A = this chain, B = another copy of it.
Amino acid sequence: MGALEGRYSEEIMNNGCIDMGSDDEGDEGVAAIQEAVRVLLKGLGEDVNREGLRKTPLRVAKAFREGTRGYRQKVRDIIHGALFPEAGLAKGIGHAGGAGGLVVVRDLDLFSYCESCLLPFQVKCHVGYIPSGQRVIGLSKLSRVAEVFAKRLQDPQRLANEVCSALQNGIRPAGVAVVLHCSHLHFPNVENAPLDANHQEWVKVEASSGSGVFEDENSDSWVDFLSLLKFRLGKMEKNCLRNGVTSSWCPSQSISYLKGSIAASVDSDMVSAVNTILSSVGEDLSRKELVGTPVHFLKWLIAFRSAKFEMKSNGYVNGRTECIRPSLEVNGKHDVQIQSELNLSFWSQCEHHLLPFHGVVHIGYLCHEGSKHIARQQLQSIVNFYGFKLQVQERLTRQIAESVSPILGCDVMVVIEANHICMISRGIEKFGSNTATVAVLGQFSSDPIARSRFLSSIPNAFS
């Protein structure tokens, strides 16, 4: 459990809130981030006046300000007026209500920004506390207080500690316990992306913090709390850590991540631009955890620089093969099989929000006599080529369909299923949502049975 300062004071109830929330300062902050994002886009070799990118600086600036609004919120304002008198039991009879009755809120979906690389990470948050003094806090406030600290640049252990400390100081209960399950997107190493079949797309850690009667992690109170989380804990990944969740959880800090030529191309203007973003959201640039942040952020951003990624195979992009249009008669002589390559993984960067989207690509094609065997790796290479760019999913789908057509024949269907980080980490926060896009070429565009046969072959696993 993380160390906590138990002192209750006016100062702590402000929880490090930086007073920069006025409209004027907010506008200034947005303007500064916009300009910084323009520098980043130019550094990526992009045309900042291209239609899809024209408003990207504003969108990114608003998203950063919104996603870091916790710097401008005070826990005191949330808890004020939400502590309610609630009777307990007479001494010696037992523990319940406003005196000793454990209260747990489970499965709060939050997201936060990684202080090491500025990517959003997802949090499943569980909070417990034991009321004392014949009073309880409104249940929703446990969520709201957690949000204040989630909406800052964070790492899991510090987030757990800060939520715990703020609730302990704000409610003054017998104790507070916080368990977080955090998931951080883990890009593959660009240089060997197609080869690494075992790449895990998420790094997952658990962090916990306790105060008061939860200070000792072997206390009976923790046993009760964990009992009530038992099936949540059952869902945890093997590589969960307890305590000791340090800076190492962020994949951008691993030495194998994006090395060599890409790291070398980080320029000083881009570094300055990221520092401008950090100070504009309300951060202290001298904080030691932020020293490496600009370079870590730029490393993953630059992975999506146009034309930096070469296709492994050459020569098939330009030519367009002539093809026969086979009929799809199931019992006929010219029966045609639908061949498919399912679940090719892809990683891309939403050009509207500079946030990753990722998922799987399914490619179906009609196979007829004389078709040559296509290696899955060749298709994966095409997917990577078009994925590692500033993109929109609709375009990526079309580009893949167009590119595979010369090698697979002109009857091609491409389906992309994706999670967009921008759908969960901005205002709309649609945690479970996901998207699908379709491109159809040749016979697939006119033959609903062919489409249906291919679509029904796609596994249901994606969500």
Contacts and interface: CB of A to CB of B under 8 A. Distances in A.
Contacts of A392: 84, 86, 136
A441 B89 contact: yes
- Which of A139, A143, A234, A428: most chain B Cβ within 10 A? A139
A228 B397 CA distance: 15
B89 A398 contact: yes
A352 to B, nearest CB: 6
Nearest to A412: B94
Contact of A437 (B101, B415, B463): B101
A435 interface: yes
Contacts of A97: 394-395, 397-398, 439
Interface string A220-240: 100110011011001000000
Interface residues of A, number: 83
The secondary-structure label for the interface of chain A is mixed
User: Taking the full assembly, how many copies of this chain does it contain?
Assistant: 2
B89 A433 contact: no
A231 B460 contact: yes
Contacts of A107: 430, 432-434, 463
Nearest to A463: B107
Interface string A436-459: 111111101100100110011000
B395 A435 contact: no
A109 interface: yes
A101 B397 contact: yes
Nearest to A224: B451
A147 B428 contact: yes
A95 B439 contact: yes
A195 interface: no
B87 A395 contact: yes
Given A94-B401, A230-B460, A439-B96, A101 B394 contact: yes
A103 interface: yes
A94 B439 contact: yes
Contacts of A234: 460
Interface of A: 51-52, 55, 81, 84-89, 93-98, 100-109, 131, 136, 138-140, 143-144, 147, 220, 223-224, 227-228, 230-231, 234, 352, 392-395, 397-398, 401-402, 410, 412, 414-415, 420, 422-423, 426, 428-442, 444-445, 448, 451-452, 455-456, 460, 463
Q: What are the 7 tightest A-B residue pairs by CB atom distance, in nearest-first order?
A: A96-B439, A94-B441, A96-B398, A97-B398, A227-B455, A231-B460, A220-B448
